[in-house]
Chains A and B, each alone.
Chain A
Amino acid sequence: MIWMPLLALILGVLIAWWLPTPSKGVLGNYLSVAALAGMDTIIGGMRAALERSFDRVVFASGFAVNMITAAGLAYFGDQIGLDLFLAAVVVLGGRIFVNLSLIRRHLLSRVETNGGGDVSAPPAADPAGQ
């Protein structure tokens, strides 16, 4: 089941590749910041899933609000001549690294408890992450 999000990601890329780009206007320039926000939320969600604290409402709202905030910040920054999108890039980029390291630790500790077994298998006992 772990491959389903991965498959969805590839599917999304393929669909966007075949579809014409919808926003050639100014809006398109904020897509990249929004995509970064989405990436951050997804990695945060993965971490929460591993920590067993995943909440679909928190996840869905975070996904939408973070994207809008990041894109909105970038837009506002462009209006006042300040590279505010950098704030979003730094914070979101930093958080992606932090969450990825936590995910790595979770998976590593699980590999240890399973004696090098299947990582994608549902967790046995809570490994109580570091």
Chain B
Amino acid sequence: MNPSDRKTRQSSWLMPLTIACALLGLMGTWAYKNEVVNRETGGGRATPLATSILKTARQQDDEYREEIIALRGKLADLEQAAAERSKLAKVMSDEMQSVRVFAGFVDVEGPGITILLRDSPNAPTIVSPEIAERYLIHDIDIVRVVNELRAAGAEVLAVDGHRLTSRSFIRCVGPVIHVDGVPVSSPFTIQAIGDPETLKSAVDLPGGVLSGMRALDQEMVEVIVEEKLRIPAYSGSSKIQYAKPAEPVKS
């Protein structure tokens, strides 16, 4: 084999390989950058579209919530204006106000307690999924605490600042918990207005709703007695489609 033969042979693979390597560097880096973006937005294969839709929907949701609060405030103002004119309207307005507190349409304040539930930061890292599950706060934990507080006479309740109404629901949707369709995450704040001592002793009951979590990790639970607590109004929809007031039954 002579030197010139060797030279052509070498250059025949060098150029294609060089070009291919440049392309590989280009593509590999783009793939990497793309993956970083995906990881940041929480998307993965074929999910960027879903992520953007979700983002728009959430934004719209927030806008509607603000609008609902603004409209309810306007309605209350109008009623008040009417009340100033006539005695009957005033009585009705007072009655409306107490109904509103019950329904959750106005901000309220009063004494009560705040309960913080959080996923345990001390969960053992290498355990079976069944055991790791127990170190997390689940929808059922919140439901049980809320139920216990209601049983103990809590008048107004909120989870992570979302006022609970008679139609509220708390359930888990994949990795997050939804309160009336609004996602919330650990740490969860459960606020209750009522007699603080009664509420506190109800949840602190031995073998009660918090004992399981406390036995696992003290840090998962925190109960704070509040002298004055403010709970915001319910900001979701109050549309009633099917139920209609029934005629009184004649006896």
Contacts and interface: CB of A to CB of B under 8 A. Distances in A.
A130 interface: no
A41 B20 contact: yes
B20 A63 contact: yes
A68 interface: no
Q: Which of B17, B19, B38 has the most CB of A within 10 A?
A: B17
A39 interface: yes
Interface string B42-54: 0011101100000
A35 B24 contact: yes
A44 to B, nearest CB: 10
B14 A1 contact: yes
Given A52-B9, A56-B12, A78-B45, A23 B30 contact: yes
A45 B34 CA distance: 27
Contacts of A48: 13
A29 B45 contact: yes
B22 A21 contact: no
A42 B46 contact: no
A117 interface: no
Nearest to B44: A29
Contacts of A41: 20
Contacts of B6: 122
B17 A5 contact: yes
Interface string B19-48: 111111111111101110110000011101
Contacts of A10: 25
Interface residues of A, number: 43
Contacts of A122: 6, 10
A39 B25 contact: no
Contact of B28 (A7, A13, A52, A54): A13
Given A24-B37, A56-B13, A35 B28 contact: yes
Contacts of A65: none
Contacts of A4: 14, 18
Contact of B17 (A16, A22, A26, A46): A46
Contact of B26 (A12, A32, A46, A63): A12
B21 A6 contact: yes
Contact of B22 (A1, A12, A24, A25): A12
Contact of A31 (B10, B17, B18, B31): B31
A59 B18 contact: no
A26 B46 contact: yes
Contacts of A78: 45-46
Given A9-B25, A26-B49, A35-B24, A21 B17 contact: no
A5 B237 CA distance: 63
A87 interface: no
A35 B31 contact: yes
Nearest 5 CB-CB pairs, A to B?
A12-B25, A16-B29, A32-B31, A8-B22, A31-B31
Interface of B: 6, 9-10, 12-31, 33-35, 37-38, 44-46, 48-49
18 contacts: A4-B14, A4-B18, A5-B17, A12-B26, A21-B30, A24-B37, A25-B48, A28-B30, A29-B46, A32-B28, A32-B31, A34-B27, A38-B28, A39-B28, A49-B13, A54-B13, A59-B17, A122-B10
